[in-house]
A and B are shown apart, each in its own frame.
Chain A
Amino acid sequence: MLIKTSRDISESEVTDKKLYLKRREFIKRTTALVGVPAMTGLFMSEVLAGEKLTSVKKSSFSTDEAMTPFDKISHYTNFYEFSTDKEKPAELARDFKTRPWKIAIEGEVKKPTAYDFEDFIKPHALEERIYRLRCVEAWSMVVPWVGIPLASIIKRLEPTSRAKYIQFETLYSPLQMPGQRPGFFGSGLDWPYVEGLRMDEAMHPLTLLAVGLYGEVLPNQNGAPIRLVVPWKYGFKSIKSIVKIRFLEKQPITTWSAMNPREYGFYANVNPNVDHPRWSQKQERRIGSDNWFAPKKKTLMFNGYADQVAGLYSGMDLAKFI
């Protein structure tokens, strides 16, 4: 057994304070200089929300609609693990630990493995995808995500032929996530949060695993370090802070559909023709407009991605499979 004894640090070993304070800048510059893919360099260090992501490819899947300001995207979040209030997660997730972060791959897969976050995303190039996000609560945003197409990750993980569905799980950590604590009445959801997709939905080129927002590392309250983004489905499908991905033969039971199957289905495709008992799904409020009473937008079938995804559901009764 190796026992390290403490020793005094000589003056020359102490990092200059100016340099220490500029360490992020330093990492960025050195990685650029050395020519190491900047992403690797960044994710190697203690990356925190707000860190700039570089070598991000633009994508033709992006919309050219006006983007919702960063401040609104990061201060209007449904992250019940922290709070059911939309503004509070920004504050409550400030010290949320996103490193080290493990992602366990389980189920119908060639080699079940638990990856370190860095190893999990390292082999892939980052892309910026500006997507519309439509919440079941009848509001919407335009978000410039940075991430990796889920399809390329799935291909690398090599699921078996029996894998028909994919299930995601959010971290369960009541110590860090006050919303998960068994409070007076809790928040009414079963933890951990579980979401799922059919394999063809998961393999669709629009489906993304996001690690960033506005060219920066994902703010904690937006689902850091890694979250799902499925732009043609209601926001609750896009599960945050993923720690487990499981390939399944059968359709998984997902959190909201278990809690209230009449209101939240497994598919949860954005659909203006199927009304929700609480919100009209015909229209939506675009968050971020300076005009309080800006006219609402008409909600589009599959959130405007019908051309790309309608084929996935041909022959399905979408009023039944909500």
Chain B
Amino acid sequence: MRTRWPVSTVAWIWQNLYNYAVLIAVKPPFFYMKALLFFVCVMPLFWIIWRGLQSDLGANPVETVTRYTGDWVLRFLLITLSVTPTRKIFGWNFLLRYRRMLGLFAFFYACIHFGIYVVDQYFSVETVLEDILDRPYITLGFTCFVLLIPLALTSTNDMVKRLGAKRWQKLHRLVYVIAIGGVLHYWWLVKSDIFQPLVYALLLLILLSCRLWFHQRNSLAIKTMRPG
């Protein structure tokens, strides 16, 4: 009988587990990580559906769901915007591969957010238009939603190629405007309790100042690179 390594089945199992562990630790398998992230990102949706099934949405379920999804739009926008700073500060370039999904989830929750609002108005174009025209916070929220659409549509690799990286990037800088608008949309909605919108605003301020700082550092670096 031939002897082989490993000598026992138990050792063989351990060897394999170890190999996989090393594989995962050293080089995260992109596919699995992405699937995991996708799962995490749909969790808020599952959670609210679960609460709905338990009749745990309070006295005003439409308001609860609208607020909830609106909150998640802002959260996903902030998470998406934190990719670049984290990547630059910690050098985690692999994060870039997950940014598209995060951004698309912001759009996904925005669709539910806006969708519920429209259903709640009984698809009455008249009511929706009046709201958009008369109520500043809705004007702003709607504008941000509309601006998200081209970003979602041009999120594919193919579109990046077609537009060219430069133009694509320029277009996608719209996300700064959208995030600021989104936070203001929330701020203008509340009556006096500005605490939550303020938290979003502060986080956004930090994320945007990071970019300003990177930008200045870069231009400084370019200047000093000039031969004297």
Scoring B59, B135, B188, B189 by chain A CB atoms within 10 A of each residue's CB, the highest score goes to: B59
Check B194–A188 contact: CB distance below 8 A.
yes
Closest-CB distance, A179 to chain B (whole angstroms)? 9
* Interface SS majority for chain A: loop
Check B192–A189 contact: CB distance below 8 A.
yes
Closest-CB distance, B28 to chain A (whole angstroms)? 38
Name B135's contact: one of A80, A278, A285 (CB within 8 Å): A278
Q: Is A63 part of the contact surface with B, judged by Cβ < 8 Å?
A: no
Q: Is A261 part of the contact surface with B, judged by Cβ < 8 Å?
A: no
Chain A residue nearest to B199 (CB atoms) is: A184
Known: A277-B135, A277-B136, A293-B119. A188 touches B60 (CB 8 A): no
Bound state CA distance, A137 and B67, in angstroms?
14
Q: Is A288 part of the contact surface with B, judged by Cβ < 8 Å?
A: yes
Q: Is B218 part of the contact surface with A, judged by Cβ < 8 Å?
A: no
Scoring A185, A275, A279, A292 by chain B CB atoms within 10 A of each residue's CB, the highest score goes to: A292
Taking Cβ atoms with an 8 Å cutoff, the residues of B that contact A are: 58-63, 119-120, 122, 127, 130-131, 134-137, 188-195, 198
Bound state CA distance, A183 and B199, in angstroms?
14
Bound state CA distance, A185 and B197, in angstroms?
12
Known: A86-B58, A278-B189, A288-B59. A185 touches B195 (CB 8 A): yes
Taking Cβ atoms with an 8 Å cutoff, the residues of A that contact B are: 71-72, 75-76, 80, 84, 86-87, 137, 139, 183-185, 187-189, 259, 275, 277-280, 285, 287-288, 292-293, 295
Chain B residues near A137 (CB-CB < 8 A)? 191
Chain A residues near B188 (CB-CB < 8 A)? 278
Closest-CB distance, A17 to chain B (whole angstroms)? 37
Bound state CA distance, A275 and B188, in angstroms?
16
Known: A280-B131, A293-B120, A295-B122. A185 touches B60 (CB 8 A): no
Chain A residue nearest to B198 (CB atoms) is: A185
Bound state CA distance, A317 and B58, in angstroms?
38
Check B62–A285 contact: CB distance below 8 A.
yes
Bound state CA distance, A175 and B63, in angstroms?
31
With contacts A292-B62, A293-B119 known, what are 14 further pairs, Cβ within 8 A? Answer: A72-B59, A76-B60, A84-B193, A86-B59, A86-B60, A183-B195, A184-B195, A185-B194, A189-B192, A278-B135, A278-B191, A280-B131, A285-B62, A287-B60
Check B60–A275 contact: CB distance below 8 A.
no
Bound state CA distance, A282 and B61, in angstroms?
21
Name A280's contact: one of B60, B130, B191 (CB within 8 Å): B130
Rank and list the top 3 A-B pairs by shortest CB-CB distance, nearest first.
Answer: A188-B192, A76-B59, A84-B193
Check B134–A280 contact: CB distance below 8 A.
yes
Check B62–A293 contact: CB distance below 8 A.
yes
Bound state CA distance, A231 and B223, in angstroms?
70
Chain B residues near A72 (CB-CB < 8 A)? 59
Check B127–A280 contact: CB distance below 8 A.
yes
Known: A280-B131, A293-B119. A75 touches B192 (CB 8 A): no
Chain A residues near B194 (CB-CB < 8 A)? 185, 188
Bound state CA distance, A187 and B192, in angstroms?
6
Chain A residues near B189 (CB-CB < 8 A)? 278
Bound state CA distance, A236 and B189, in angstroms?
17
Chain B residue nearest to A85 (CB atoms) is: B193
Chain B residues near A71 (CB-CB < 8 A)? 59
Bound state CA distance, A280 and B131, in angstroms?
7
Check A76–B58 contact: CB distance below 8 A.
yes
A–B pairs, 14, beta carbons within 8 Å: A71-B59, A76-B60, A84-B190, A86-B58, A139-B63, A185-B194, A185-B195, A187-B192, A189-B192, A259-B192, A275-B134, A278-B191, A288-B59, A295-B122
Scoring B60, B134, B188, B189 by chain A CB atoms within 10 A of each residue's CB, the highest score goes to: B60
Closest-CB distance, B220 to chain A (whole angstroms)? 36
Bound state CA distance, A280 and B61, in angstroms?
19
Chain A residue nearest to B131 (CB atoms) is: A280
Bound state CA distance, A275 and B127, in angstroms?
13
Scoring B63, B127, B191 by chain A CB atoms within 10 A of each residue's CB, the highest score goes to: B191
Chain A residues near B137 (CB-CB < 8 A)? 278
Chain A residues near B58 (CB-CB < 8 A)? 75-76, 86-87
Closest-CB distance, A291 to chain B (whole angstroms)? 10
